[in-house]
């Protein structure tokens, strides 16, 4: 090196390792409530349609639930399932004492009203945290169920940075499942929060001002290295499968990793970043739901504060 150019390399935030630790902690709690309270947390996952990518996620969720000692109930329904049939299934799960958590994989086929489906899930079994009751609890400072992807993202931020008080954060994306709940969590952590979306003017300038960047856009490698403030912490939520010239495909995030890794202070990779944390947090929410439904007084797994 000539002494002029200082090559920096961001710290990699390892979602696989973090999620393995969290799942270990959850497993211990699951065994504890099984042995002392005779309760086994149960997670029901509902998938409508045969989207192969979704099938992989559902299988992963069930496998991880079983590894933690939970029961898992898989409901795979054909793509032409009626809304009425799906709502009936959910009402059955609402009333099933073995089921503590219910997740309906999104997106749903167009003929089904997703909002109606979400509102049919009992709020205390809504482990996705998408029911308006839980949305309101997060927005108004109450205790509800926190959406898994934002929760996992926050755990990694807190682990890397400690308290986030006063930091400038930008969330790129305003969806109900990632962007909005993420912004609410960051407000709760006393960050100064900007929410950007497709109508934002001069997105690179907004991103450059931020100490924390959460990318949840769904556009492969859109956020470039020269948009990142040197030393910033980057959480890449994006999961995009892109085709390669040789006919194969690979997963990339919403951040151009090779560029950002040279500027950021820390960054989550894709795969191996937010994705595995989402699943660990789903299990954590299922454990929490089981404990609350049975009024068990157990400590939360990784209460990060």
Ligand X SMILES: Nc1nc(=O)c2c([nH]1)NC[C@@H]1CN(c3ccc(C(=O)N[C@@H](CCC(=O)O)C(=O)O)cc3)C=[N+]21
Q: Catalytic residues, which ones?
A: 61, 105, 128
198 touching ligand NDP, by CB under 6 A: yes
Q: In DSSP terms, which residues pair with 73 in a beta bridge?
A: 44
135 touching ligand X, by CB under 6 A: no
What number of other Cβ atoms are within 10 A of residue 87's Cβ?
17
257 touching ligand X, by CB under 6 A: no
Residue of 17, 42, 18, 19 lying closest to 30 (CA atoms):
42
- The least distance separating ligand NDP from the CB of residue 1, rounded to whole angstroms, comes to 36
Strand pairing report for 240-243 and 249-252: antiparallel
Considering only residues 139 through 158, tell me which ones interact with ligand NDP, judged by CB under 6 A.
149
Residue 251's Cβ-count burial label (10 Å; 0-12, 13-18, 19+) is: middle
- Nearest residue (CB) to ligand NDP, 196 versus 266: 196
203 touching ligand NDP, by CB under 6 A: yes
279 touching ligand X, by CB under 6 A: yes
199 touching ligand NDP, by CB under 6 A: yes
93 touching ligand NDP, by CB under 6 A: no
State the sign of the Cα–Cα–Cα–Cα dihedral 87, 89, 91, 94.
negative
- Binding mask 151-190 toward ligand X (x if CB under 6 A, else -) reads ----------------------------------------
Considering only residues 222 through 241, tell me which ones interact with ligand X, judged by CB under 6 A.
239
The listed partner (ligand X, ligand NDP, none) that binds 219, CB under 5 to 8 Å by sort, is: ligand NDP
Considering only residues 91 through 120, tell me which ones interact with ligand X, judged by CB under 6 A.
103-106
Q: Which of 197, 205, 242, 249 binds ligand NDP (CB under 6 A)?
A: 197
Residue of 50, 155, 65, 68 lying closest to 103 (CA atoms):
65
- Binding mask 238-267 toward ligand NDP (x if CB under 6 A, else -) reads xxx---------------------------
- Binding mask 210-229 toward ligand NDP (x if CB under 6 A, else -) reads ------xxxx----------
Measured in whole angstroms, the distance separating CA 149 from the mean position of its chain's CA atoms is 1
Residues in contact with ligand X by the rule CB under 6 A? 56-57, 60, 103-106, 128, 148-149, 239, 251, 270-272, 275-276, 278-279
Q: Which residues contribute to the annotated binding site for NADP(+)? A: 173-175, 239
């Amino acid at each position: 090196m000539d002494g002029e150019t200082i090559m920096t390399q961001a710290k990699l935030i390892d979602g696989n390792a973090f999620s393995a630790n969290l799942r270990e902690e959850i497993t211990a709690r699951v065994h504890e409530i099984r042995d002392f309270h005779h309760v086994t947390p149960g997670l029901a996952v509902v998938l409508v349609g045969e989207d192969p990518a979704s099938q992989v996620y559902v299988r992963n969720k069930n496998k991880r639930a079983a590894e933690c000692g939970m029961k898992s109930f898989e409901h795979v329904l054909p793509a032409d399932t009626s809304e009425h049939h799906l709502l009936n299934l959910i009402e059955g799960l609402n009333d099933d004492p073995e089921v503590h958590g219910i997740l309906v994989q999104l997106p749903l086929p167009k003929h089904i009203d997703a909002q109606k489906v979400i509102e049919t899930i009992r709020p205390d079994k809504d482990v996705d945290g998408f029911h308006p009751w839980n949305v309101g609890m997060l927005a108004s400072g109450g205790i509800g169920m926190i959406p898994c992807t934002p929760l996992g993202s926050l755990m990694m931020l807190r682990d890397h940075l400690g308290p986030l008080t006063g930091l400038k954060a930008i969330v790129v994306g305003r969806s109900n499942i990632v962007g909005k709940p993420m912004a609410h969590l960051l407000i709760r952590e006393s960050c100064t929060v900007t929410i950007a979306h497709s109508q934002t003017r001069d997105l690179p300038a907004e991103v450059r001002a931020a100490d924390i960047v959460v990318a949840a856009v769904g556009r492969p490698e859109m956020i470039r290295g020269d948009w990142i403030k040197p030393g910033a912490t980057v959480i890449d939520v994006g999961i995009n499968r892109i085709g390669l010239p040789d006919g194969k495909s690979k997963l990339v995030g919403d951040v151009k990793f090779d560029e950002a890794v040279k500027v950021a202070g820390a960054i989550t990779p894709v795969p191996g970043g937010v994705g595995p944390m989402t699943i660990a947090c789903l299990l954590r929410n299922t454990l929490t739901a089981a404990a609350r439904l049975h009024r068990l007084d157990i400590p939360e797994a990784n209460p990060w504060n």
